[in-house]
Structure 1
């Protein structure tokens, strides 16, 4: 284990967080809020510690997959531990566990909250919550890789550890260029949504915060009714962009390069859209509001887009919907968005791999001498990818079960407890009942919130980077 290189990169992470913290500090200055001192103090502290750690480059610059996973996990833990401090200093969340829950929910683009009333919360805190979504959406390390040339080809270990989905590859041969392309697309889509929301009449502050949350598929609202108070047109714009940010960013890269034939071959996007439209149709039929069918379709589309992309915004309280409609939403909570997007969940690509594997095994039982190869996007799926997906599923189920067992100590009803675990582990935000669109996570104990914090981090980092932290072999010097 190359400890010096890990410390060096953590130093750069703190430097970047120091820069990130300047946005809410400037916001406080604009709105004349005294709470800005908390962000400025944390920014200075981050710069000091980060600067001291990065003064000297380590002589051994090599690191491998093990270091990559550790760096990835520690990055998200470090930025969360520091990013939570302003919530305590401003008095918005005096309990540090609550503050840590809130910022982890922000960085992991979950959107679950313990704040019961957003009305008195200062603008600087609101924009920090929303900005944390944007930072975590594409990934902290991907952002750093896009700007800093670290150590050559081994940078790929960082990108693989942080990128969501069963596999990750380079868009172009150079890792820095790959990260740069991803962030250019991400930033471009963010700017476009912001401009469109401004054109619909939304005020600049709301447009910035909502865009940050949509781009990162996070879902922190800045009003108590989430997106319910916006116009139908504004809600429609948010719906479209939630769905767009839930698509694999490789698709946009291929479209820019005019490789349309390759885009057509991507099965995941096709099935992602099929799932969305099927879920909307089922919910609209179940709601049965035929006298106001257009509004019913609008709310169904917004809710489905919000849930499947794990954004978590709300325009309607789906707690009040029929059980069938709520079950449809619960099912797509597990599915999630596409691999390589800013969305969470298990990812559509994994669901496809599982479905194709089941079909392959059934055919194999009938035709025992046949040799059937599993393919996706007209390419053979390597055995290592299938094995990784299977191990992921087992780990996913075990963590879900263990989390639910601990959460049950709070003696909160099963629907709330179960969907709270689902919502945090899949980085969705709202669940059902007490943690529904109009509820929050404030009723849970500090122990449960710590479990949720782990679940949010594990869900965002695809489980394995977090689990490796608990292995002795990870920390050996060999």
Structure 2
């Protein structure tokens, strides 16, 4: 274990996090919120101190960087920014409980959008900005940003381990031979789409501050709104803009890169994207039909159905209406979409469409082998043979996923809330969605749960964002063994 290099990398990530607090500090000064400004200054001082100690500790680091180091760096970095990123909320007393402050910022960084705040409109603009910006920072990954602007070392293999540990999906590759260039391309596309989202929102008459914060939530597929009714009070045009951009940010960014280099055929033939769009169209159609009696017209039914399917499927969590009042059939579809999630390599959560694609292909293959035992066929995706290690990884992930999900449901059930609420709360947090059903529905929040349950759900959010294994590796005895 190259613990000194791990400490050096974590210090760089903490310094980056601290720098990104500056816009919130400036907003507080402009608005005259001096107490909140002092809270940000105090938070930055604490982060500087811890980052400085880690930087000093890693000054004599070795150059070698292994896969184990990559997993530990990513997991430790996310734990640190989670524990420290919520300090402005706590120091300003806008969220007086430290457990609640950590829950809120983890919900932001993991792009979950689950909140403990009953009245977000009472928050200062500085806190609202930091809360929304945490979505944008966590969407593509703060470590990916760090790799783009602050290369860790000259060992490209080491930086690829970091990328693989933080990026969502069963496998991660490089768009270009150099990993830093890959990170820069990903963030360039991310910034471009975010700017376009802001422009379309401004064109619909949304104020600049609202547009920026809403774009952060849309781009990161996070869902923190700056209004108590989420997106409900905005115009249908603005809601439609979010519908489209949530769907776009749920697509694998590698597809946008293929379009950028004019490989249109490869982009349009991507099997994961086609399945993702099929799920969106099918779910939208079924819900539109099912909720028609509740709406004034087919157009209104389609509008709300498309928005909520896009929001839940991409794990954003915005809402235009209280879908907790929809028929059971529609709520069941939304619950299934919570698990499916968006594409790998996007800012969305869930198990990812490509894993579902691989599971369906493997199921079909196993049925064929049952009927014809001598059949030997490889599983293909986009014309390429899928390595058996990837299939094993998907199966291991799904096993860990359901074990942790059921364990979490049992733990938070100690609070004696209805099963529907507990089930959807864990689904919503583990899959980084935000709103669930019942007491955690779109017009409610998570404040009703005990501190113990909030800690469980906070861990679930981190497990979901890091796709389980980096966080499990951090607390594994084998990780710290000198024999590996």
TM-score band, normalised by the shorter chain?
Answer: over 0.9
Residue by residue, what CA displacement relative to the aligned partner does 1:338-370 show, whole Å, maximum 9, x if unpaired? 000000000000001111111000011111111
Give, in angstroms, the shift of residue 9 of structure 1.
Answer: 0.9
Partner of residue 417, structure 1: 422
Give, in angstroms, the shift of residue 57 of structure 1.
Answer: 3.2
Give, in angstroms, the shift of residue 291 of structure 1.
Answer: 5.0
Give, in angstroms, the shift of residue 121 of structure 1.
Answer: 1.1
Structure 2 distance, partners of 1:53, 1:331, is 43
Give, in angstroms, the shift of residue 52 of structure 1.
Answer: 4.6
Structure 2 distance, partners of 1:314, 1:38, is 31
- Three-state SS of the structure 2 residue aligned to 1:119 is helix
Residue by residue, what CA displacement relative to the aligned partner does 1:251-305 show, whole Å, maximum 9, x if unpaired? 0011000011211231000010000010000001111247511111010000000
Partner of residue 38, structure 1: 39
Q: How many residues align?
A: 478
Structure 1 distance, partners of 2:296, 2:223, is 30
Residue by residue, what CA displacement relative to the aligned partner does 1:163-222 show, whole Å, maximum 9, x if unpaired? 001110000010000000000000111111111111111001100100000000000011
Greater CA drift, 42-51 or 87-96: 42-51
Greater CA drift, 14-23 or 229-238: 14-23
Partner of residue 138, structure 2: 136
Structure 2 distance, partners of 1:371, 1:263, is 29
Runs of 4+ in 1 over 6 A off after TM superposition: none
Give, in angstroms, the shift of residue 118 of structure 1.
Answer: 1.5
Please say if residues 8 and 58 of structure 1, whose CA atoms lie closer than 8 Å, have aligned partners that are also in contact. Answer: no
Partner of residue 124, structure 2: 122
Partner of residue 215, structure 2: 211
Partner of residue 394, structure 1: 399
Greater CA drift, 345-354 or 119-128: 119-128
Greater CA drift, 143-152 or 178-187: 143-152
Please say if residues 18 and 45 of structure 1, whose CA atoms lie closer than 8 Å, have aligned partners that are also in contact. Answer: no
Partner of residue 296, structure 1: 301
Residue by residue, what CA displacement relative to the aligned partner does 1:74-115 show, whole Å, maximum 9, x if unpaired? 111111111111111111111111111000000000000001
Please say if residues 395 and 463 of structure 1, whose CA atoms lie closer than 8 Å, have aligned partners that are also in contact. Answer: yes
Partner of residue 29, structure 1: 29
Structure 1 distance, partners of 2:269, 2:203, is 35
- Three-state SS of the structure 2 residue aligned to 1:340 is coil
Partner of residue 443, structure 1: 448
Partner of residue 376, structure 1: 381
Alignment of 1:224-373 (within 5 A): 224-289=228-293, 291-373=296-378
- Three-state SS of the structure 1 residue aligned to 2:121 is coil
Q: What's the Cα RMSD here?
A: 1.1
Partner of residue 2, structure 2: 2
Structure 2 distance, partners of 1:36, 1:334, is 39
Please say if residues 164 and 339 of structure 1, whose CA atoms lie closer than 8 Å, have aligned partners that are also in contact. Answer: yes
Partner of residue 107, structure 2: 105
Please say if residues 21 and 42 of structure 1, whose CA atoms lie closer than 8 Å, have aligned partners that are also in contact. Answer: no
Give, in angstroms, the shift of residue 477 of structure 1.
Answer: 2.9
Give TM-score, length-normalised by structure 1.
Answer: 0.98
1:53 aligns with 2:57: no
Please say if residues 2 and 61 of structure 2, whose CA atoms lie closer than 8 Å, have aligned partners that are also in contact. Answer: no
Structure 1 distance, partners of 2:290, 2:11, is 53
Structure 2 distance, partners of 1:332, 1:458, is 18
Give, in angstroms, the shift of residue 30 of structure 1.
Answer: 2.1
Residue by residue, what CA displacement relative to the aligned partner does 1:149-168 show, whole Å, maximum 9, x if unpaired? 22221100000000001110
Give, in angstroms, the shift of residue 235 of structure 1.
Answer: 0.5
Partner of residue 19, structure 2: 19
Give TM-score, length-normalised by structure 2.
Answer: 0.97
Structure 2 distance, partners of 1:265, 1:197, is 31
Give, in angstroms, the shift of residue 16 of structure 1.
Answer: 0.7
Partner of residue 161, structure 1: 165
Aligned counterpart for 1:64 among listed residues 63, 66, 70:
66
Give, in angstroms, the shift of residue 51 of structure 1.
Answer: 3.6
